[in-house]
Each structure stands twice: as C-alpha cells, then as structure tokens.
Amino acid sequence: MALLGLLGRKRHERAGFELYTAAVGAARDPYVFETLSVPDTLDGRFDIIGLYVFLVVHRLHAASKEGQELAQAVFDAMFSDMDINLREIGVGDMTVGKRVRAMWEAFNGRSAAYAAALDSGDVMGLAGAIARNVWRGQAPPPEAAHALAALVLEQSKHLANQPVEALLAGRVSFRPAQATE
C-alpha cells in the first residue's frame, strides 16, 4: 500500500514541500517581527510567509520548465498547509475553501506587485507594495518597509546564486535577516 502512495505522488511534491518548509522557517525570523515591527498576527505571519514563498517561486520561474513545475509544487504545499492550519485553528469546514481561495488571491496579487517591482529594480515600488500588504493599510514604522524591501532584494540575490539542481532537490538557504541591514 505504501508503494502505491509513492507512485501516486505528483512530480516535485517532496521538493516543493521542503522548499516551502524552508521558506516558513526563514519567515519566522524574530528580526522581522521584533525589529521591523511586522504585526505578529495570523495576517502578518501569512504576509511574511507569502513574501518568502514568493521569493522561492520567483526564483524557480526564472529557471527551466522543471523549475516552473517545482514552483507550482511549492505553491501547492503552501496552500495545503494553509488549509490544514485553518482547520486546526477551528475554521469550519464550510468556510475553509472560501478562506483559502481568498488567501490564494491575496498571494497572487502580492506576488504580481512584488515581481513587477523586483524585476524592474524599483526599490521604492517594492517598499510601497510591502507597506500596503504587510501592514494592511496601517502606516509601517519609519523605515520598516524600506528595510523589509532591502531584505527581499538581498534574499532574491542570494537565491539567484543557488544552483537550480539544489532547488530541484528541495535544498534552499536564506540569509539571516539581520545580515541584510
């Protein structure tokens, strides 16, 4: 029976889950919440996890077709985890799908804004998108959005230097947030 389960697995499922797990670990860096004052709420955590997952997916999309397939597996891992987490915190079965869809739409919108700014080298645009999304209409502390944008730029450069083969194997590293100041 276990062999049948392995045969039914989607290509890149394990690597996608491992990359997603690494992104979640990096997103939990206390620096982001303590120094940059990202709200330590469900929404704030979702936004930071989404930012790190965006970085991984964005890097993979710049790679081969296989990298793009892996990007989909990372995305799938994220939203499978979001579904599980919503159920664990007591969101009713009837509304989980709607909540996950709203999260999916939010992630896609944020990803488009971040990618446009990152790809064009628009640091101010990136900081503006981060401020709007992470602090959700509240004014971020002075320089926090710019510091988070600098972190995103540094992480993006760091990811760009990682071999695609390592990513395809589910291995990724992130720089500690403090190292990007």
The label of the residue with tokens 């276990």 reads 2
pLDDT average, residue stretch 137-155: 94
CA distance 14 to 157: 25
Q: How far is CA 173 from CA 19, 32, 162, 163, in A?
A: 9, 17, 8, 11
Contact 147, 156 (CB under 8 A): no
Classified as helix, coil or strand, 40 is: coil
Task: Give the mean pLDDT of the chain.
Answer: 89
**35 or 137, which is more confident:** 35
Identity of the residue numbered 75: F
End-to-end CA distance of the chain: 51
Instruction: Round to whole Å and give the CA distance between 15 and 66.
Output: 12
Residue 81 CB-density burial (10 A; 0-12 exposed, 13-18 middle, 19+ buried): middle
Query: Which sequence spans correspond to the domains of the chain?
Result: 11-174
Tens of pLDDT, residues 112-122: 999 999 999 99
pLDDT score of 72 more than 90: yes
CA distance 114 to 34: 23
Q: Is the pLDDT of residue 10 over 80?
A: no
pLDDT at 31: 95
Burial of 1 (0-12, 13-18, 19+ CB in 10 A): exposed
Nearest to 59 by CA among 176, 131, 155, 180: 155
Q: Beta-carbon neighbour count of residue 152 at 10 Å?
A: 24
CA distance linking residue 26 with residue 32, whole number of Å: 10
The architecture that CATH gives domain 11-174 is: Orthogonal Bundle (1.10)
Residue 10 DSSP code: P
Q: Evaluate if residue 131 carries a pLDDT over 60.
A: yes
Residue 181 has pLDDT above 70, yes or no: no
DSSP type of residue 176: -
What is each CA distance from 90 to 68, 142, 156, in whole angstroms?
34, 36, 35
Token pair for 108: 């896609």
Q: Confidence class of residue 180 from pLDDT cuts 50, 70 and 90?
A: low
